Amino acid sequence: MFSNLVRPERFLEVLALLGLFLFCPLPYLVAGTPPAPESQLYDAVKSLPGLTTRRIQELSADLRRSFSKEVGTGETFSNEELELVGSVVDYGLFNEVDSRIISLAARKAWAASKLGAPTEELEELSEVLFMLPGAGVAEVAAASGALRTFKSSPVPASVYTEVINHALERSWRPVEIQGVSRGIVHAVELGLNPEKAALSMMIRVDQGLDGVSMERMVEEELSFIRSLEQPLTSSSPGDFESSAGSLPAGVAAFQGMGTAIEAGVPSQLAAEVAQAAIERHWSGEAIRAIFEGLIRARRLGLTLERLAVAFMIRMDQGLEGVPPRRMVEEEVEFVRGMEAEKLKRLHKFQKPIRDEVSYDVSRYDRAFPELRSGRRGLDAELASIRLEDARISLQREGEEEAVEETGIPDSTPPSAGPEAASKEAEVDAGPPPTTGEDEGKARSEKTLVDEGAEGAGTPEADQPEQRKVQVETDVDKAVEAPPPPRFVSAVPDDLVGQVYGEPAKDSAESFMVPPPSTPYRWGGNTRRGVDCSGFTKTIFQEQGILIPRVSRQQAEMGAPVDIDSLRFGDLVFFNKGGKGRITHVGMYYGNGKFAHATCSKGVTISRFFKNYYQTRFVCARRITRVVFVEP
């Protein structure tokens, strides 16, 4: 028999048999069955980098308990399902979530995928599942489908993340989640305001549809929003001031929200105040005064979340005969007094940067007319950033042309001293048109130089493209002075440190002290709830600096920084979920630590050089290009 095995014609069969035993686990050969589900779950966790053996065993045990039904019946998982489970686990580990909660969220995401929910959106919703463990599988599936619908539409992320959060928190039915998401998309397609449409539908669903179909409800709310568009077409706060006092509470709230957003108040905060006004039946006069107060506080640089909470508490306690406008003034002055030292430091650190910048804006005005002023929301932010890239490119081209023609660089002689330098600042596409009283007020705050015929007979008049705007920058003398119009600036390297000064550290710490820290909220960008990129964006915005809202867009800002050269304020980016794309951002805090927002702890400080975070680190950026925010 042995001689038959070694016969030359059977030699290849013997080698194949040996290879099968050497390279395939024995259980696969016994019955020809796929791997057991518990082995698949173990392998999904083991494939994640940076985990200790003990941690792998702990997570695997919790996953087996969560998937006990599938383990008991021997149901196996596809590669796509295992990839989803592994991504959810990775999201949970990054957020330092308890392993039991991670495993429950992983099973819920898997079950939703069995209902046809898109896996990429389920991964993005992982952090919502960690925060809302009671959300149902059908609701999660509907929310992930709504997320995909929103992402392919022009609806701003700040709107749809709040809608999805709200829907899962309030346990909306799947049909309500789907109907509202389609209704908001349709509203934007009709040219209606997405914030107003979202708030209107959210309130309607929360109050109950009373037998009205989703299609009818959407139609009614869109008609209501359309009826509001006429008085809301003007962005002038004065129009709101003159009419809101006599309006019903609901209409006044929507009008005030729109006016506040136009004036730069974060849309999420404005929507929260509007919703509180409607649900708590504030008077039109009170609503008007409160939104006026938020707009004024934003121009003063105050913390709007703190002021909004103060307004709500005061309204809940009752005004006791105090006129709403006086109440607002009292609360604004109270918060202003609390933050006087912060404002003083902020202006001190901003002043050297503003004093440094001055350039010709006309060339890229003409080259990129579609990027001029009047933009709103995230598109405005990104357009301003792209505008700066275009400006620098055109400026360099102009310098090169001057060198070719004259043989010397085209440079402007230094100003006649620091006083002259402190008066110059650039603007993004020039100031908006003003008339009447507004124009007089604007001219009292800044002096326009070389605007058309006013500059006749001067060297600048012969070169209309040399249009500049001088602004008041002596903020040390008047803390309450409104900041200058939005302008962009490539900040010199020796001044970059000013951006990351004490005011920025104060802003970061204000998210964490006094305990508890600001809670995590997917899509949040206020101190009532914030996510990772909302945290970093808010810190910079409170220094008067504008950066994009999304982490992967923030990673395109500034200059790359080597890991050994990190300093406070540098943005550090990570890949959680294992898909190779940037999905998380934090701010380097110094001493090997970074501040970021996590599901388990809210805003917190973690060890940057901890093995787990280093395995997910992608890059670091230093903001060297500044977009100051207009008042």
CA dihedral sign, ordered 272, 274, 275, 280: positive
| Alpha-carbon separation of residue 520 from 109, 131, 524, 526, 601 (angstroms) | 20, 8, 8, 10, 7
Residues with Cβ within 8 Å of 553's Cβ and at least 6 positions away in sequence, in order, are: 382
Helix/strand/coil percent split, the chain, to 5? 60, 10, 30
Residues with Cβ within 8 Å of 425's Cβ and at least 6 positions away in sequence, in order, are: 354, 357, 358, 469, 470, 471, 473, 484, 487
CA dihedral sign, ordered 152, 154, 157, 162: negative
The whole-angstrom separation of Cα 83 and Cα 105 is 14
Identify residue 110 by its one-letter amino acid code.
W
Interior angle at CA 60, CA 56 and CA 62, nearest 5: 125
Looking at the chain, the number of H-run helices and the number of E-run strands are: 31, 13
The tokens for 392 are 């620098």
> In this structure, what DSSP letter does residue 244 have?
G
| Partners of 596 in the β-ladder | 604
The whole-angstrom separation of Cα 271 and Cα 11 is 77
Element (H, E) at 598: strand 593-598
Tell me if 590 sits within 8 A of 136, measured CB to CB: no
Cite the active site residues.
Answer: 532, 584, 596
> HSE of 313 in the Cβ direction (CA atoms, 13 Å)?
7
> In this structure, what DSSP letter does residue 557 have?
S
Interior angle at CA 264, CA 260 and CA 268, nearest 5: 70
Identify residue 490 by its one-letter amino acid code.
A
For residue 561, the Cα-to-chain-centroid distance in whole angstroms is 22
> HSE of 321 in the Cβ direction (CA atoms, 13 Å)?
0
Tell me if 534 sits within 8 A of 524, measured CB to CB: yes
Identify residue 229 by its one-letter amino acid code.
E
Residues with Cβ within 8 Å of 444's Cβ and at least 6 positions away in sequence, in order, are: none
| Partners of 447 in the β-ladder | 470
The whole-angstrom separation of Cα 378 and Cα 381 is 5
Calculate Rg over the CA atoms of the chain. 29
**Residue (of 121, 91, 94) closest to 106 by Cα position:** 91
**Alpha helices (H) along 515-618:** 532-541, 551-554, 611-616
User: Could you write out the three-class secondary structure of 80-146?
Assistant: HHHHHHHHHHHHHHHCCCCHHHHHHHHHHHHHHHHCCCCHHHHHHCHHHHHHCCCCCHHHHHHHHHH
CA dihedral sign, ordered 271, 126, 157, 500: positive
Mapped onto helix, strand or coil, the DSSP state of residue 631 is coil
